[in-house]
Amino acid sequence: MTNSRIKITASPHVRDADSTIRIMWSVVMSLVPVIAASIWFFGPSAVLVILASVAGCLITERLFGSQRNSLADGSAMITGLLLGLTLPPGFPLWMAFLGGGFGMAFGKIIYGGLGQNIFNPALVGRAFLQAAFPVAITTWPAKSEHWWSLQGDNFALPFMSPVVDTATSATPLGNLKFGDDPVVTPVLDLFLGTTGGSLGETSAILILLGGLYLAWRGHLNWHIPLSIFVSTFVVSGLFYALGISQFPPLFMLFSGGMMLGAFYMATDMVTSPLTNKGCWLFGFGIGFLVVIIRVWGGLPEGVMYAILLMNALVPFINRATQPRLFGTSAKDKKKEDKKKEAES
Partner 1 sequence: MKGLLSFKHGVHPPENKDITSGMASRRFPFPDEIVLPLSQHIGTPAEALVSPGDRVERGDVVAKAAGFISSAVHATAAGTVKSIELWPHPSGAMVPSIRIDVDPNSTQMRRPRSVPRWQDVKDEDLSKEIARAGIVGLGGAAFPSHVKMNPPKDQPVELLLINGCECEPYLTSDHRTMLEHPDDVYTGIRIALKALGITRAVIGIEANKPDAIEIMRKTAPDDLDVTIQPLEVKYPQGAEKMLIKAVMGREVPSGALPSAIGAIVQNVATAANVAVAFETGQPLIERIITVTGRGIKKPGNWVIPFGTRLRDVIEHCGGFTDDAAEIVFGGPMMGLGQANLDVPILKATGGILVLSKDECKRQDIMPCIRCGKCLEACPVFLNPQLMGQLAKAERYEELADEAHLADCMLCGSCSFVCPSNIPLSQMFTAARTQMKRLATS
Q: Which residues bind partner 1 (CB under 8 A)?
A: 1-3, 5-16, 18-23, 67, 73, 113-116, 221, 269-270, 272-276, 322-328, 340
Q: How far is the CB of 254 from partner 1 (least distance, A)?
A: 28
Q: How far is the CB of 330 from partner 1 (least distance, A)?
A: 12
Q: How far is the CB of 239 from partner 1 (least distance, A)?
A: 32
Q: What is the per-residue burial (b if ≥16 Cβ within 10 Å, else e) of 56-67?
A: bbbbbbeeebee
Cβ proximity to partner 1, 111 vs 213, nearer residue: 111
Write out the DSSP string of 61-75: HHHH--STTTTTTSH
Cβ proximity to partner 1, 19 vs 161, nearer residue: 19
Cβ proximity to partner 1, 205 vs 274, nearer residue: 274
Phi-psi category of residue 22: left, alpha or beta, with phi > 0 → left and psi -120 to 50 → alpha: alpha
Which letter does DSSP use for residue 93 in this model?
A: H
Cβ proximity to partner 1, 52 vs 124, nearer residue: 124
Q: Rounded to whole angstroms, how far apart are CA atoms 83 and 71?
A: 17
Q: How far is the CB of 223 from partner 1 (least distance, A)?
A: 10
Q: How far is the CB of 79 from partner 1 (least distance, A)?
A: 13
Cβ proximity to partner 1, 180 vs 341, nearer residue: 341
Cβ proximity to partner 1, 115 vs 182, nearer residue: 115
Instruction: Please say whether the beta carbons of 88 and 138 come within 8 A.
Output: yes
Q: How far is the CB of 327 from partner 1 (least distance, A)?
A: 4
Q: What is the per-residue burial (b if ≥16 Cβ within 10 Å, else e) of 204-238?
A: bbbbbebbebbbeeebbbbbbbebbbebbbebbbe
141 SS3 class? strand
**Hey, what amino acid is at 189?**
D
